Structures are given as structure tokens and as C-alpha cells.
Amino acid sequence: MLLFVYAAVSKLLDFNTFQNQLGQSPLLSAYANIIVWAIPISEIAIAILLSFKQSRLLGLYKFYGLMIMFTTYIIIILNFTSYTPCSCGGVLEKLGWIEHLYFNLAFIILSALSIVLLSSNKKSSYLKLFILIVFGSLVVTIIFLSSEKQIKRNNAFIRRYMPHPIEKLGEYDLKFNSYYIAGIDDDSIYLGNYTTPLYLTTFDYALKKKNEFQIEIDSMHLPYKRVRISINSPYVFVGDGTVPVIFKGNINSRRASLYSYQDAYFTEFLIADSGNIGITTKSFKTKSSALGKINKLNDSIKLVINDEILIKEMEGTFDSDGILLWNNFLQKFIYTYYYRNKYVIIDKNLNKIKLSKTIDTIGNPILDIAYYSKSKSYKLGSKSVMVNKHSTTDGKYLYINSDRLGKYEDDEVLRFAKIIDVYDLRDETYAFSFYLYHQPEGKLNAFRIYKDLLVAIVDDQLWLYRLKPEYFKQIKY
């Protein structure tokens, strides 16, 4: 009684948050308007049934059945979705999903024991408990399978796939999924690690020689929160935009000294060359993403912020989000939007050159944004459609990973491969697409292309491919 009354009251007192979280749930979004009322009303009704001796057994059965459904929901969230909201309030909001699962299981056991103790027909109670397990699990599973899902198929465009344009060179089990690609040069692949932010792991192209070492910086006392390493051989840069600070050093010395401090806050930084660093930041004027450049000449820092390159097409702070890239061959910045079929070509001085389109047809972002009045914040939900998930550039090409399916494409292939679309930057045209194959059900964390080498991290696996020259014209650097 206490559990369900507390849970129901918590939901009703913060109804806005509860409604938003259900609406953004990957399982319940299609039925959120009904479930947002059905759950607290059911919890209160069951608590009332438990209050009276005559209806207590019926209340326990209903309690047991509802807890089975809640637990099935958690199991599906943990194992079959990529987005994990929380629709609990009060103290339960502090529990993680695994802890919440154990919490639910404990109450399922308690209610089952109570039913058996109160029931005059033990065999009948065992059968009913089993039927409720099957029924409750089946109902939630059907809701999961039938609920509104993110749109992936778009029959308005057709991809042109090339037969085997890349050749696998090798793979390596990294053991952990906390790695990112810090850089590539003629000899080595450099990986950073989110959990040990000052350590680098290097591999040769054969993935046989592995080396690990730490980059030393001359200021360890700052309140770092998001340290990242970027390699532009022979230089190594260490940055944290929340402080904000950037260190620069030589990869051979394994030491980086202060390069820029308190010049600009940034969400990401990108090394163009030894003296120019591109950044993405938040504009005070537009309240959305903006681009900037940090240039150091003779110990003097010059900061340029251009908040007119990235155009907002709707209210909020998400629709202009994307990835900033640097193309060394063309000497240009490229910015690919996450939520629309566009990318921007920008010169070295942060002047916008041209806005170009990808083959997708989503020109206006489709975003699932909820406002949480309690925290006065906006959050992006699971129904938002991401057009361009990852991107990289090298030579004359722009490479974009998208999981949106075109005409005649089968989504089964996405279980063990990622789609890479290739664009020719010289005439801003779509060239072709190819599949990047990996372990089953793997999630692409990052990929990078350097000359004829493609490096990808899929979960905890490092993949190495060679681009075949008959498909990718060689560029002389």
C-alpha cells in the first residue's frame, strides 16, 4: 500500500515530468496519453483493494501482475533499446536500472508469498501466478513491438552501393568500450580513453604492436570534467572545454604545455594545423551551436566566434547540433548537422562558403523535445530522427554514417554492418555508399579515414579496413 500510494502521488505531483518521460520512452510513446493516467490510477486502486480484508487477495494479485509488467518493461529497456528514460519519482528516481530491477523482484517475491499464504487453494494460486507472469510479460512485449518507433525508412532516396570497395585488414578486441580515435598518422593509430583521459594507446597498421603511455600536462589542479586528446602528428593536444583549457606538446616527448586558458568554452575542439584549432561552442546570442577558431601566434591568442554559420530552423538548442571536421587536402572546415540533410563548407577564416545537401530528404529537423518545468530544462527524446550519426573527411571525400534506410534496402543488414555514404566535396555530389561490416549487434562509436585506411571502433572492437584505389581516387598530400 505504501509503495503504490507513494509512487502514484509522486507521479501526480510531478505530472509534467512523468508525462514527458513516458512520451519519450522507446516502448510506450504511442500509448503515453493513456498510460500517463492509467498507471497512477491503477496504483491507487490497488492500494485501496489492499486496505480491506475482503479484497486483499484480489489486490495482491493485481499488485503482482502490475509489478510483473513493470519488471518486464525494465528488462526490455536494459536489453533491447538504446534509450533508457526513467519514469519514477521521489526516492526511486535515485535508483539505477539494475537496482530498480532488484527492487521490483523483491516486491514480486513478497507479493507471491503473501498470495500463497492467504490463498485456500495453493495449487490454484501457483497456476494464477504463472498465468500472470506470462500475461503481464506478453502485454508489455506486444506494446514494445507495436509502439511507435523512430522512422528509419525513407523511400524518397535510393543509394548506389559499390561491390566490396573496402578490404578488411584486421580487428582487435579492446576489452572495453570507452575508447575513441584520437588520431592517425603514417605509422600509428592513436586511441584515447574516456575513463583514463591522459593515457594513449597506439597500434601499428598490422594491429600487432600495441603501446600505452601517459601524456603529462603542466597543470593538474584544474577541475577537469571532459578531457580529450587529439593527435596531429607530431603534435599532441589535450583539451577540456568545461574549464576551458588546451595543452600542446610533441607526441615523442609525451608532454604537453599550456597553450590556451580561459579563452573560450567549447563542447568539442578540432586541430586544423599546429596553429589553428576549430571549436564548437554555444552562442550567447542564438542560444545554440556556434563555430569558433583559436589561433596562437607569437604567444598571442586570437579567438574568432561566428554564430551566423549555423542556422536554427526551430526553437530550442538541438536542431543546429552536429560535428565539426577539418579537411587537410581542401584546407576547409566541414560541419555536418545531426538532424537535417545538410552540411556546411567553411574556409579557414570561418567564412561560410556553401550549404550542401545529403541524399536524405529531412531538411527540417524532426525533434522530440520535452520541457521539464521542475528543472527548467529541455531534453531530447527517443523519437528524434538523427539523419547523420557520424562523419569524417579525408582527401576529396566526405563520409557520413546514417542508419536511415533508402528504397529497396533491408534493415536486417544493420545488425552486422553500418551504412557509409560518400560525397565528393569538389562538386558537392553524392558518389556512392558502402557497408562497414562488424560484429553482430555492434554500435559504431567512431570511425576515421586517413589516406587509404579506415579505422572504426564498434563497441569494444577495433576494426581496420583498406579503401580500394579503384573506388577511392588516391590523393597526393
User: Residues of the chain whose pLDDT is less than 50?
Assistant: 82, 87, 148-155, 476-477
Looking only at the bridges linking them, the beta strands covering 216-217 and 255-261 are parallel
3-state DSSP call for residue 477?
coil
> Looking at the whole model, is its pTM more than 0.95?
no
How many Cβ atoms are within 10 Å of 129's Cβ, its own excluded?
Answer: 19
Which architecture characterizes domain 166-467 according to CATH? 6 Propeller (2.120)
Cell of 469: 584505389
73-88: per-residue pLDDT in tens?
889 888 776 455 554 5
DSSP one-letter code for 369: E
pLDDT of residue 151: 37
3-state DSSP call for residue 448?
strand
CA triple 107-108-112, angle to 5 deg: 115
pLDDT of residue 150: 39
In 3D, which of 232, 228, 231 has the Cα closest to residue 246? Answer: 228
3-state DSSP call for residue 433?
strand
pLDDT of residue 477: 42
pLDDT of residue 134: 96
Looking only at the bridges linking them, the beta strands covering 189-193 and 199-203 are antiparallel
In 3D, which of 125, 120, 111 has the Cα closest to residue 67? Answer: 111
As a whole number of Å, the end-to-end CA separation of the chain is: 72
Q: What is the DSSP string of 169-192?
A: EEEEE-SSS-EEEEEE-SS-EEEE
CATH 2.120.10.30 domain position(s) in the chain? 166-467
Angstrom CA distances, 428 to 321, 343, 354, 453, 461, stand at: 21, 10, 9, 22, 33
CA triple 327-330-335, angle to 5 deg: 45
If 0-12 CB within 10 Å is exposed, 13-18 middle and 19+ buried, where does residue 140 land? buried
CA dihedral sign, ordered 342, 321, 434, 363:
negative
Within 13 Å of residue 406, how many CA atoms lie on the same side as its CB?
A: 16
How many Cβ atoms are within 10 Å of 14's Cβ, its own excluded?
Answer: 18
